[in-house]
Chains A and B, each alone.
Chain A
Amino acid sequence: MKIPVFRVGLIVTASFLPLSLIALIVFLVIYSWPAIQFNQLHFLWTNDWNLGNLYGNPVDVRGAQIMPGAKYGIWFLVVGTIVGSMLAMLMAMPVAIGAAYFLSEGVRRSWAGPLSLFVDLLAAIPSVVYGLWGYALLVPLFGQTIFPFMAKTFSLVPFLGGDPGSGYGLLTSAFVLAVMIIPLISATLRESIQMTEPALKEAGLSLGLNRLEVFWHITLPKLKTVLIGVGILALGRALGETMAVLMVSGNALNYLPNNIYAPISTMAAFIASQLDSALQDPTNMAVEALSEIALVLLLITVVVNFAARLLLWMARVR
């Protein structure tokens, strides 16, 4: 039998993709195994990240060597990550839909190309530049002008009133995240708006609806699955965003936000900012606990992406 060399070569190289995904999960599980055994499940919902006394002698607790007083609980990270991304989604969704409509049907074709460049290029800007922009422009602007004003105006609304903070915090990170994910949502949505059958739109128009009403009552309900799928996809992106959040979130430690101006931290930003201090731990448990956070983040994003891709596949968007 002749061996199809070319095809075998293709299969071997193509299998790099799934293998790297599996390798990621396997390596993380192996490396963080001591931490998983030590922390068990309440790791996720206790609110106490403490490396312990790094100058003391390691002690044995529950069969693991740790520094005296060391505790690892990441509830504040779970809350920060999920609340921040949700808030970003809430801000991003309407604007993304509006921009997608504007670029696909609101302006004439010949303008749509150049104008959509703004949105496409916005998606290409590196996240650390978003962070720099947030740090240099948004944080002073929000902290000194907008947040105090908002806190005063909405002083009676829960979560909107209270201490306006310094500008670093939940709302600033959510705003930056929203600007980052709007282009992603908008691009896919624009494509699927253009792919909707024209007959549907024509039927609506002939009933006397104007174009915006056709979009709202006919096109958008038709694209419900796409909308949800793209939304979850963007949520996955927001959950894992590191640099931009790191630079504007205020990097709270063991602190739960009591209003939307309060400082937060997210899992991704925490991993990026804490490795240096975790390396001070001679028992290595802190580094393993960080890798457990990475594992949690990985599993969350895999589940989120899995759900989103499944929905989009059912809706027949590539």
Chain B
Amino acid sequence: MQNSTKNLDVSVWRGDKSGGAYAQYAVPRQENQTILDVVTWIQRNLEPTLAYRFSCRVGMCGSCAMMVNGKPRWTCRTHVRKVLDGNRIEIAPLRNLPVIKDLAADMAEFFDKWHKAEGRFHPTATRDDDIVPVLPDSPRRKAASAGIECINCAICYAACDVVENNSKFLGPAALNRAWTLINDERDGGREVRLRAVAGDGGCHNCHSQQGCMTYCPNELNPTLSIAGLKRVTAMAALKGEI
């Protein structure tokens, strides 16, 4: 029987889309331990039916994103000692998304909104055309480059209260993507994209709470991108283009 101070007191949300509750587990404490280590230990030693996602376990894929003590984080890059609340940890599936099972959230609406924001590149050239020279130092390329490292982990989507309250809101990641494409001089979808982000669920619903940039593990800033979209769509509307 292990001394209780050597164990972590872990609450894990278990259930599915019809509801659920927190289950309690005692997990041995290690010197160096991530939240993903904790979840994996529970599934291997205590609860084989626990459902959760991970892939690279080194902070590159974004699959392991979950709510840890109420904040959205990559669990593989979250050390237990950094988030420990006394001896307690609370782990839940990402906010603002339906749950498939336990810690696995249904990402379908997140990707649907990526499409709705015209997150898809619209090509304008063929293999027979000359390569378009894109200068890496041009202002538009810099703006695009600042936002392209998004790996679709949905942490920003989970952090955003506008996503919580406005079901049509396209969300920080989709809008950030739209901004990078608006700034891509090779892309031919400008007008359809501006319309996509200027409608009811568009960029104008962002209240600049900046939860997205606070929690983005890649240090992206969707609020900055959305501010750019607001400027571009406002100008386009004033000029009668959309």
Q: Do A and B bind each other?
A: no
